[in-house]
Amino acid sequence: MPERLAKRIQVALPLRVTYWDSDNKPCPDMACTYDISPRGARITGLRSVQEAGEIIAIERTRNNKTFCRVIWVGKPNSELRGQLGIECVETERMMWDAELRDMEEVYDPVLRKNDFGKLNSAPGDRNRRRRSRFLIIDGTAELQNQSLSVASTEVVLKDLSESGCLITGRHAFSPGIDLKVVLSVANYDLSVKGQVRHTVQGLGIEFREIRKGDRQMLQFLLRKLAEQKLEESFELELQPR
């Protein structure tokens, strides 16, 4: 199974953390997982690490140290504040075998309230669903349908909203098919369950459920995309004509 489709669950596990300061001196700290995957985790409470790319060591039990790279750090004023993403740098090592084996992923229903359409819809505009979709420059999606004998498929993510997405690429899915979709934008991954609604100019998927803990990630990504779109519109207005 592709790594992004591997199980990830929301669970709080205490961690001992070692990071290295500017003088390369090891410093102890404590943190807690927010969610875990076979080769990584989202953790909270580690305020000493400020930038992506740093190497840290984590321990759940003594003499069982795993070295990880920080791949993203939540911004102070964002939905991901206080959180950071880590991945194991040791080849083929699985970090949470027992926890992932004994626990199941939990999904929450997707809310239909469209908060992000308000950021870029004019009063009285009835086309908010279309306007709330944001173009994705560099994103992928992995699709899986367990009821069909079809291998998981990696495709290109073209646009994203709080209720669905559009993807392009080779696939074997038709309208009405239920899918598990793992979206990857920059270093952020999130998992949803949805249904294929159309195959016009790509595969249109309507989200039905989102993995517990991933709603914050989706809100963060959409807000960043909305801010980028707003900045781009201001830049166009400032350009001389």
Architecture of the CATH domain 3-102: Beta Barrel (2.40)
The ranges assigned to domains in the chain are: 3-102, 107-238
Same fold, 3-102 and 107-238: yes
HEC per residue, the chain: CCHHHCCCEECCCEEEEEEECCCCCEEEEEEEEEEEECCEEEEECCCCCCCCCCEEEEECCCCCEEEEEEEEECCCCCCCCCEEEEEECCCCCCCCHHHHHHCCCCEEECCCCCCHHHHCCCCCCCCHHHHCCEECCCEEEEEECCCCCCCCEEEEEEEECCCEEEEECCCCCCCCCEEEEEEEECCEEEEEEEEEEECCCCEEEEEEEEECCCHHHHHHHHHHHHHHHHHHHHHHHHCCC
Would you state the pLDDT for residue 125? 43
Would you state the pLDDT for residue 127? 43
pLDDT in tens, the chain (241 residues): 455 667 889 999 999 999 998 899 999 999 999 999 998 999 999 988 889 999 999 998 777 889 999 999 998 888 999 999 999 998 778 888 888 888 888 999 997 654 444 434 444 444 444 447 899 988 999 998 867 666 678 899 999 999 999 999 887 788 999 999 999 998 889 999 999 999 988 999 999 999 998 999 999 999 988 888 787 776 666 666 6
Instruction: Tell me the pTM.
Output: 0.76
Would you state the pLDDT for residue 116? 42
CATH class of 107-238: mainly beta
Would you state the pLDDT for residue 118? 43
Would you state the pLDDT for residue 121? 41
